[in-house]
Amino acid sequence: MTGREKGVPTIVLLIEDDPYDAELTMAVLGEIQSFRCLAERAGTLSAGLERLSRGGVDLLLLDLGLPDSLGLATFELAYVQYPDIPIVILSGLADEEMAIKTVQIGAQDYLVKGNFDSNHLARAIRYAIERHRIKAELKSLSLTDELTGLHNRRGFLTLARQQVKIAHRLKKKLLLLYIDMDNLKWINDNLGHEEGDRALKEMAQIMSATFRASDLVARMGGDEFAVLGLEEGEADFSKIRQRLDQKTGLPGKNSARPYRLSLSMGFVQYDPERPEDIEELLARADKLMYEEKSLKKSRKG
């Protein structure tokens, strides 16, 4: 068993640019007999990350030396954007020390190219998926918000600190949104806390559907949420705002709620040239969110 239902194929994505190594590994994957394995291949990290964004991948086989990324940075970029995908590193003998480092910081295993057959690879895949599943279950007990299923504040801070460190090392920008659901108190006071919980769950679903799978989405407590993600291209807060406003402005398809969900937001950018820790970023975003919330109240008054 590999963590999927019996009879459902295990989807393995190989990110490898060398034609010979790729052909050899794909052939070994095709020889696996102990479970159904469907293998896909990407030749660059960017192409592999794009494939991961479409979902459905059970395990990533990752070469560390790619045309668009080298060494530890290759693993870090994949791991920080897709922490839910178990990763097995493929290394040459000269890269074995680097491969061991990746296991120490989150990879499930590493294999030396040319030194494994289908039985060895099948075991590595099975064990990597199972170890990753157990690790995720244990982590979720302390890092997940019970009501919404999003990360809780502790989970967000734990994972966000890691993202900030990696972004600083790789000279990448990050975007942080701090969001307050404006009318939760009114819902609780007038419609009851059960309806308030339903509103929070719906808000969590809207946010999960709005942002990328690689973005870190959390309920920070009460009616406050946060989103952190690597910037891809120019940040356009107005488009993000528009998407959220469209989805929160009307009652949900399966909801009979007679009210609009309304949001106040603060939006900041992490610049590796002017490094800040996650607490400083949150403080700036929270201040901007509060200013917007106060402006709304003054207009009503």
For the chain, 301 residues long, the average pLDDT of each consecutive 10-residue run is 66 97 96 94 97 96 94 92 93 80 88 91 92 78 88 90 84 92 91 92 91 88 92 69 78 62 91 92 95 84 59
CA 9/CA 162 separation, integer angstroms: 32
Report pLDDT for 256. Answer: 62
Q: Would you say the pTM of this structure is higher than 0.75?
A: no
Is-catalytic flag, 223? yes
Domain 153-300, what fold? Alpha-Beta Plaits (3.30.70)
Catalytic annotation, pick one of 58, 95, 223, 286: 223
pLDDT of residue 58: 97
The pLDDT of residue 250: 57
Name the β-bridge partners of 228.
176, 216
pLDDT at 88: 96
CA gap 38, 59 in Å, rounded: 11
- pLDDT of 172 reads 85
What is residue 3's predicted lDDT score, i.e. its pLDDT?
Answer: 47
Do 151 and 143 contact (CB within 8 A), yes or no?
yes
Strand-strand pairing, 87-91 and 59-63: parallel
Q: Which class would CATH give 10-143?
A: alpha beta
Residue 107: closest CA among 130, 138, 76: 76
- Domains in the chain: boundaries: 10-143, 153-300
State the DSSP H helix or E strand holding residue 226, giving kind and residue range, or none if neither: strand 224-230
pLDDT of residue 254: 45
